[in-house]
Structure 1
Amino acid sequence: MAGSQVSLKLLINSETKKVLFAEAGKDCVDFLFNILSLPIATVIRLLREQGMVGSLGNLYESIENLNETYIQPYQKKDALLKPIAPAAAYSVPLLLFDSTVVTEKLFYKCGCCHNFSYSDNQSTGCTNCRRQMTSPMNYVAPPTEQKSASSEGGFVKGVVTYMVMDDLVVTPMSTISSITLLNKFNVKEVGSLQEKLVHIGMNEVYNAYVHISTSIIGFGF
């Protein structure tokens, strides 16, 4: 995990007790955007570790408990239970993954003949001799793009501040956009506005994951 906490500043109308918007930095926006890249099974696995219950958790457990007898010989449970998240997400604050990050993918070839076919599953039959392709071939990932000296990683640039609305609309922050929002919320007295710095830790993140998982499918999940 790249970080254990991110911060954002809330602008609150003290008269109506309503949060108008949040002023957020790169780390917070990277976290919000990269939630979209997480496989649903990854979210469920994280929530189960915190005692999540519900239909999606039951679905996950059903796969775990399913006997290998009922699974196709070329399929593996981990393909559904532990899908590989995008590599970029591993550098984002508050996105938790297994401690071992998959950086290589194994492919297999036939060890009995000189067939050039290969597969990512040892149960696959060779297209030439039909024997299982069990001889490993290491996949070497291409070099990553050369990063500039000011490269920050993540998804968005850190040279600007971002505005996050309560419906999760995220836009670059500017003086004009701020004034427009104040007019939209009918704020008459600037003196009624208060700033509040809040910190997002793992409890808030798990709550966000719960909200996401219950919103994906509307069948009481």
Structure 2
Amino acid sequence: MATDKVSLKLLVDKSSQTVLFAEAGKDFVDFLFYILALQVGTVIRLLVKTGMVGSLGNLFGSVEKLNDVYVKSSMKDVLLKPKALAFVSQLPCLLPKTSSSDSTPKSYYRCPSCEYDNCWNYVAEDCSAICPHCRNSMNHIFTLVKSPAGNPTAAAVSAAVSNGQGGFVQGVVTYMVMDDLEVKPMSTISSITLLNELNVKEIGHLEERVVSLGMDEGIKLPRASLHSKKVLTNVFLGEK
């Protein structure tokens, strides 16, 4: 069952108020990797109302404002509400739903002619399309209902869920997530090596903090990742 909160253990350098790394389980790493599966239009739609950094938000807003005279109506949803990959039910619910388009059956069009059997071999997404066989308008509407087994991604998801292994990564491993979101397996040796690499001199300056990641932080995390190398510090300790 998906959760709406994820617990995370941070190692914080109190002297610089910086997160050195996070000790994370499968749920947090699954969420990070799910962000990669989101299309750019979906990410922008999530972030544009909460403070989009950069120019992609302006591009998104331009498509929203231009009417059908300039942008094809059939293409507007393709740009503004792109279909996400099949969502794994076990992933934490840390992002708001942006569209119900994935669960809404899509309408397609066929030629209405009954005179030629070959006319029924053609399908169109636009009712103004012309049948290649009889040259009639393809305005006979019908609805395509997708089956989860009909696409490889959903099939892989279903198999993973049935095995109790929903998500992207294995659940038996503890992961180390760096401040810049680099993910690697957690181990005592790798932790010590990392402290040396970060030139940590005073162990007494280090503090362990347990934080909770909810939808608010779920939105902040991809936003911070677009402009910062200190993502965990920005999200959990406040932007410097």
Report the TM-score when normalising by structure 1.
0.79
Looking at structure 2, the residues matched to 65 and 18 of structure 1 have their Cα atoms a distance apart, in angstroms, of: 41
Query: Structure 2: 5+ residue runs without aligned partners?
Result: 150-154, 229-240
- Aligned equivalent of 2:152: none
- Range that drifts further, 89-98 or 168-177: 89-98
Q: 1:95 to 1:206 in 2, by over 3 A?
A: closer
Looking at structure 2, the residues matched to 166 and 194 of structure 1 have their Cα atoms a distance apart, in angstroms, of: 15
Matching of residue 126 in structure 1 with residue 131 in structure 2: yes
Structure 1 position 160, deviation (Å): 1.1
Q: What letter is aligned with 1:65?
A: K
Does the 8 Å CA contact 1:44/1:213 hold for their aligned counterparts? no
Structure 1 position 47, deviation (Å): 2.4
Does the 8 Å CA contact 1:31/1:95 hold for their aligned counterparts? no
Query: Structure 1: 5+ residue runs without aligned partners?
Result: 216-221
**For residues 30-69 of structure 1, what are the structure 2 equivalents within 5 Å?**
30-50=30-50, 52=52, 55-69=55-69
Matching of residue 86 in structure 1 with residue 85 in structure 2: yes
**For residues 206-217 of structure 1, what are the structure 2 equivalents within 5 Å?**
206-213=219-226
- Range that drifts further, 14-23 or 32-41: 14-23
The CA RMSD over aligned residues, in Å, is 3.1
- Aligned equivalent of 1:23: 23
* Identity value in percent: 49
- Aligned equivalent of 1:77: 76
Q: How many positions carry a matched residue from both structures?
A: 214
Q: What letter is aligned with 1:66?
A: L
Secondary structure class of the residue paired with 2:87: helix
Does the 8 Å CA contact 1:123/1:134 hold for their aligned counterparts? no
- Aligned equivalent of 1:141: 147
Does the 8 Å CA contact 1:10/1:21 hold for their aligned counterparts? yes
Secondary structure class of the residue paired with 2:69: helix
Q: What letter is aligned with 1:119?
A: A
- Range that drifts further, 121-130 or 97-106: 97-106
Structure 1 position 3, deviation (Å): 3.4
Structure 1 position 170, deviation (Å): 0.1
Structure 1 position 82, deviation (Å): 0.5
Looking at structure 1, the residues matched to 6 and 222 of structure 2 have their Cα atoms a distance apart, in angstroms, of: 16
Report the TM-score when normalising by structure 2.
0.73
- Aligned equivalent of 2:177: 164
Q: What letter is aligned with 1:76?
A: M
Looking at structure 2, the residues matched to 90 and 127 of structure 1 have their Cα atoms a distance apart, in angstroms, of: 42
Q: 1:105 to 1:152 in 2, by over 3 A?
A: farther
Q: 1:183 to 1:189 in 2, by over 3 A?
A: same
Structure 1 position 22, deviation (Å): 0.7
